[in-house]
Structure 1
């Protein structure tokens, strides 16, 4: 049991876990922004173009409201809004990854094209000593 706790502590204290937690928090905030973009900016003009339809109002009734019971509906419009939100998030993540990959490739090309750094002085001294010994 102690070994498992030690492994967990090592895992939890690594930087990757913190990076992942930050990514999840930022992703949640980004999801809220995208949800607002879809609901408040994109869907109203689309609804207006197709005759003033608000997608979130599109429902398929399964059971009508009765005394003391609410109606049961399939909320197709909410599903459509969520699909559009997903597509926007997927596109944004794709573009982010594509940009990061382009920067990584550029950095690797620049790194490969750059001449190697000069050896440290101690290494240079050792080479001079070696060359002097070979000449004798």
Structure 2
């Protein structure tokens, strides 16, 4: 019975459930970002740049038998995803930015001690 109880405590602890929810939401968010890159950014920005460079199909690029096109495509996709995530996180941080708290003044105890110090100096 001890092992089952330990497993229940582990599996239903808040941290494990929070982690599972985070992984599921992260996977769904990854699909959204991938779709944004594949369906919006690539057709609007990357395809015209590739056509201007004369490389319409980046996956077919090769040099002396080394097919570097797929690797280059993956690097460009990564950079696009990283930039989109950067923009999203930067925007979220702006929205969630908390105003700075003003420094607290001296407490009553500090004020009283300062007055006592000043009175002792004057004697």
Please give the TM-score of this superposition, normalised by the length of structure 2.
0.55
* Partner Cα separation in structure 2 for residue 21 and residue 54 of structure 1: 41
Q: Which whole-Å deviations, capped at 9, do the CAs of 1:50-91 have from their partners, x for residues lacking one? A: 52755753633463xxxxxxxx62220232012211221243
Which ranges of 4 or more aligned residues in structure 1 deviate by more than 4 Å? 52-56
| Structure 2 equivalent of residue 92 of structure 1 | 88
1:49-128 superposed matches below 5 A: 49=49, 51=52, 53-54=55-56, 56-57=58-59, 59-61=61-63, 63=65, 73-74=67-68, 75=70, 76-100=72-96, 102=97, 105=98
Aligned residues of 1:58 and 1:77 also touching (Cα < 8 A): no
Aligned residue pair count: 94
* Partner Cα separation in structure 1 for residue 89 and residue 48 of structure 2: 29
Greater share of residues in strand: 1
Aligned residues of 1:56 and 1:81 also touching (Cα < 8 A): no
Structure 1 residue runs without a partner (length 5+)? 64-71, 110-136
Please give the TM-score of this superposition, normalised by the length of structure 1.
0.51
How large is the RMSD of aligned CA atoms in angstroms?
3.2
